[in-house]
Structure 1
Amino acid sequence: MSIGEETVDENESRTRRIQDDRMIGAAVGITMTRYGMSYADASVLLENLAARHRRSVLDLARTITTSRWPTAESFDWARDGSPVGRLEHTADESAAGRLLDLLIETPDLNDLLGAAADLAVESLPGCDYASITVIRDGAPATVASSDERAAKIDELQYNHGQGPCLQAARTDQVVQVPDLSSTTWDLPWKDAAAAIGIHSALALPIASDADIAAALNLFSTRPGAWPASTQAMGEELALYIGSAITLAYRRNLA
């Protein structure tokens, strides 16, 4: 390499570092503005979020300053209701960027969780309704739902003391019911679910540092609506919801 080539490479490297620093600075600035944090506190928050989700701070900064979460319209559908054709498109876009945007932009926890439930319906292939269950002091409650039908099914599960949302929250395990009509589970509420058009359910545990148990509940009007790709995207979304809950409790917004 000649001296001239080395100088060009050094200049390009310096330019990239400056651009990366500006990207991180923009993300810190958004966090400072939305939450009234100091620069140091906002920087620590981003570092903790990045570590929690095994991402670099720079990657997280890109997500915060852009929106890359795919919509359900990005997918084609097979006759059985499963998404096909464009799933490879989600490989580098499933970082739940829009929920992170909401985390930064929405200081009220209730508004944030409501927006997260709506985002699940909009973004997760096969999901027609969504809700979030939180168990505090042994008592379950639906803290957000995209539709009253989701909240109704949650309430039926609470009344009977069993169901995917309760099991996921209590055991920290994913619970999938591909077809309510043919499941071997004893679910006294499944006829009521069928009556309002719900035929499959997927419950994803939400992990947070707060002293609660929680689950993201997904419902579909189609049987067999939960391919591995949808479950993976839902689990990632649940991770970010957990971060939002943790942040809100730490800032006394709950």
Structure 2
Amino acid sequence: MTTTGDEVSLERVAEIARSLAGAAGLDEVLQRVADLGAQHLERCDGVSVMLVQRGGRLATPAYSTTVARDSDRAQYDTGEGPCLTSMDTQRTIVIDDLEQEDRWPRFREQALALGIRSMASFRLFLEGDTMGALNFHASTAHAFGHHDLLLGEVFASHAAVALRAAITEAGLEAALESRDRIGQAKGVIMNREGASPQQAFDRLRALSERQNRPLRDVADQIARTGEIPVLEPTRKQRRGT
């Protein structure tokens, strides 16, 4: 039996929903949002999650590549860009070819230097309340077609629900402060070991489990000291089984 494009799309949506529902806590949800987005949009090279904090301050607590992270930073630095516009206008913003784009000239220059040619930014919101933006980047022009944009809209909706559900009683501000430390610790691991964002997060999670300590405490230690603890082998690994 031949699988149609619509059936494949439905399977992807179901897979995204299941994966986000299975994430434990805000840290896990944020990283899964970034990684799943990069996996499911075929020509996507990187995803970033931009969130609005108290007082309107913006942060990028999760990203799948450093290019995606640096693209967000370029928008913070210049005060312009598609992700900011998506949140301001409450609509999806698509850039087919950044070399032909005349909006946001200061951001455009920095983004091209990062190797970005296409972008799609989806507002993260629930009941009209904007939480931030989900941003997809590609190194090729015209990377995102109609099908990709439809999938991106659905994915952003699932992501917004999962993020809202994962915010603890401490509130988004406190959660993002913790996430900032995790981001710093990931940066240390990525720079020292040449790891990807997902590999760095997996290393933090393994250290947390092996040391029986909260992931945030492990991240805080690495961020403060710049030292990465040795990942001791498990008993099973020591026995060679």
Residue 144 (str. 1) matches residue 62 (str. 2): yes
More helix by share: 2
State the Cα distance separating 1:242 from its structure 2 match. Answer: 0.6
Q: Which runs of 4+ in 1 moved over 3 A?
A: 86-89, 209-212, 250-254
Equivalence for 1:184: 102
Look up the equivalent residue of 1:239 and give its one-letter code: S
1:208–1:245 Cα contact (<8 Å) kept: no
Equivalence for 1:39: none
Q: Does the C-alpha gap of structure 1 residues 210 and 103 become closer, same or farther in structure 2, counting only changes over 3 Å?
A: farther
Q: Does the C-alpha gap of structure 1 residues 143 and 208 become closer, same or farther in structure 2, counting only changes over 3 Å?
A: farther
- What whole-Å deviation, never above 9, does each CA across 1:55-109 have from its counterpart, x for those lacking one? xxxxxxxxxxxxxxxxxxx9xxxxxxxxxxx7455343242x2332233322221
Equivalence for 1:228: 146
**Equivalent-residue separation in structure 1 for 2:112 and 2:59 (angstroms):** 22
Q: Does the C-alpha gap of structure 1 residues 105 and 89 become closer, same or farther in structure 2, counting only changes over 3 Å?
A: closer
Residue 119 (str. 1) matches residue 27 (str. 2): no
Look up the equivalent residue of 1:117 and give its one-letter code: A
Gaps of 5+ in 1: 1-73, 75-85
**Equivalent-residue separation in structure 2 for 1:195 and 1:87 (angstroms):** 35
Q: Give the percent of matched residue pairs that are identical in Structure 1 and Structure 2.
A: 26
Structure with max Cα Rg: 1
Q: Does the C-alpha gap of structure 1 residues 184 and 212 become closer, same or farther in structure 2, counting only changes over 3 Å?
A: closer
**Equivalent-residue separation in structure 1 for 2:52 and 2:69 (angstroms):** 15
TM-score, normalization by structure 2: 0.64
Equivalence for 1:173: 91
TM-score, normalization by structure 1: 0.61
Question: Aligned-pair RMSD on alpha carbons?
Answer: 2.3
Q: Does the C-alpha gap of structure 1 residues 192 and 87 become closer, same or farther in structure 2, counting only changes over 3 Å?
A: farther
1:132–1:217 Cα contact (<8 Å) kept: yes
State the Cα distance separating 1:227 from its structure 2 match. Answer: 0.7
**Equivalent-residue separation in structure 2 for 1:143 and 1:192 (angstroms):** 21
